Amino acid sequence: MTATLARAAAVPPLPATPAVTLADVRAAAERIRGAVLRTPLVEPQAVARIAGAQVLLKLDSLQATGAFKERGAANRLALLTAREREAGVIAMSAGNHAQAVARHAALRGVAATIVMPRFTPATKVVRTEGWGAKVVLHGETLAEAAAHAHELALRDGLVFIHPYDDPAVIAGQGTMALEILEDAEGQGQRPLDAVILPVGGGGLLAGCAAALAEARPGLKVYGVEVEGYPAMAQRLAGKPVLVGGPTVAEGIAVRDVGELPFALLREMGIEVLVVPEAAVEQGIAVLAENAKVTSEGAGAAGLAAVLARPDLFAGKRVATAVCGGNIDPRILANVLLRNLLRDGRILRLHLDIPDRPGVLADISTRVAAAGGNVIEVSHQRLFAAPSVQTAELELMVEVRDAAQGAAIVAALEAGDYVVRRG
């Protein structure tokens, strides 16, 4: 009996009514009109062929700061009282929320302070300052930066703008759902089967789900998290939150989800899918190659779910958001190359070869004859070779597809070379 009561006490009671409604979202849409871009909803056929589903992409990566966070920030700042505008605002963020608050505060002539952890990349600091905000670097973690932001808010009388645990922010994020619905189902188009949205703190999913629950009852709404950070899925399942590790989807790498989004999602019975890291990388690459869209990891999570879960989405008409495009160019380049390797369009070959004249020329001729393009060569005779009379050769070869790669390996093996694929 005691254990049962303890478990019950640990679970917050369900709210009597949703804290964010369709009316709230519609009011937010009117409030932010003109301050936030009404982004396009596109349907790339090349993505549909790969995904095996009719995929509509909401390109919120085209917002001025490169992410959907402007919606919530613009709505929250529009609701400031005269006294609050005079006092100024403060936020904690190492990413898109920082720039969103900075930009919309500047548009309204409100002083903004953004607290960022010390490890925040310099480019993000510079961009945030570029929108006119004062940046304070404090703490080694997001939690330490958040604590300091709250301290400054109390000390200086500033209004704290939370990235997701705020009804006005959630309502602002929900405006995306209204645009998706209008563009996807207007003028006699086939109805959507599902809307799939990334989950970090939960503000975007909660706002959109709340709007769609009233505007389009019965439409299935899913959240998506990456396997290293399934905090919302764990909370909704009543499990301990266990997260951590590196991920390309750092925008949704959250340990502490919002309590208000959590309550809303639990009330509505929203399912959160968890996708592997490799699926997110594939999503980034598919968007870049086939939709000509640059996405950060979090922005590709929705497409990653479609690619990873054909049991749910094959043949369906689904909409998802490319909710951010702020990806480091070096990371993007690495993701694209890793995807080429996974797809078999780049071969990494290891050969132990005789250390004599003409061998490299013979190998190059065989690769070229099969249509391959050698893009990198590493020839090591002193340290890695098993014998003093042999050398180790590593080749990176660009090929058209996996079949051509197999033909190249066969051509090398026909020359009595032992080939290992790495």
- Which percentage of the chain shows pLDDT scores above 90? 83
Alpha carbon 227 to its chain centroid, in Å, reads 12
- The mean per-residue pLDDT over the stretch 298-302 comes to 97
Range name among 1-15, 43-57, 123-137, 174-188 with the lowest pLDDT average: 1-15
| pTM of the predicted structure, to 2 decimals | 0.89
CATH code for the structural domain at 89-157 = 3.40.50.1100
Instruction: Look at 30-44, 82-96, 171-185, 348-362 and tell me which has the smallest mean pLDDT.
Output: 348-362
Tell me, what's the pLDDT at 324?
Answer: 96
**210, 216, 217, 221: CA torsion to nearest 10:** -60
C-beta separation of 102 from 128 below 8 A? yes
Average pLDDT for 255-270: 96
The answer to whether 231 and 257 have CB atoms below 8 angstroms apart is: yes
SS3 content of the chain, % helix, strand, coil (to 5): 50, 20, 35
- pLDDT at site 142: 81
At residue 182 the predicted structure's pLDDT band, cuts being 50, 70 and 90, is very high
Average pLDDT (10-39) is 82
Fold of 2-62+194-338: Rossmann fold (3.40.50)
Summarised one tens digit per residue, pLDDT across range 97-121 is 999 999 999 999 999 999 999 988 8
End-to-end CA distance of the chain: 57
Query: How confident is the model over 396-418, as pLDDT tens digits?
Result: 999 999 999 999 999 999 998 88
pLDDT of res. 180 = 98
SS (HEC) of 337-398: HHHHHHHCCEEEEEEEEECCCCHHHHHHHHHHHCCCEEEEEEEECCCCCCCCCEEEEEEEEE
Q: How far apart are CA 26 and CA 340, in angstroms?
A: 43
**Tokens coding 377:** 């060569």
Domains in the chain: boundaries: 2-62+194-338, 89-157, 344-421
Same fold, 89-157 and 344-421: no
Name residue, tokens 């032992």: 418
**Could you read off the pLDDT of 128-173 as tens digits, one per residue?**
999 999 999 999 888 899 999 999 999 999 999 999 999 999 999 9
The mean of the pLDDT values for the chain is 92
- According to CATH, the superfamily of the domain at 344-421 is ACT domain (3.30.70.260)
Q: Do residues 55 and 46 lie in contact, with contact meaning Cβ atoms separated by under 8 Å?
A: no
Q: What are the DSSP calls for 98-128, one per residue?
A: HHHHHHHHHHTT--EEEEE-TTS-HHHHHHH
Distance separating alpha carbons of residues 327 and 334, to the nearest angstrom: 11
Copy the structure tokens of residue 376: 């990198």
pLDDT given at position 386: 61
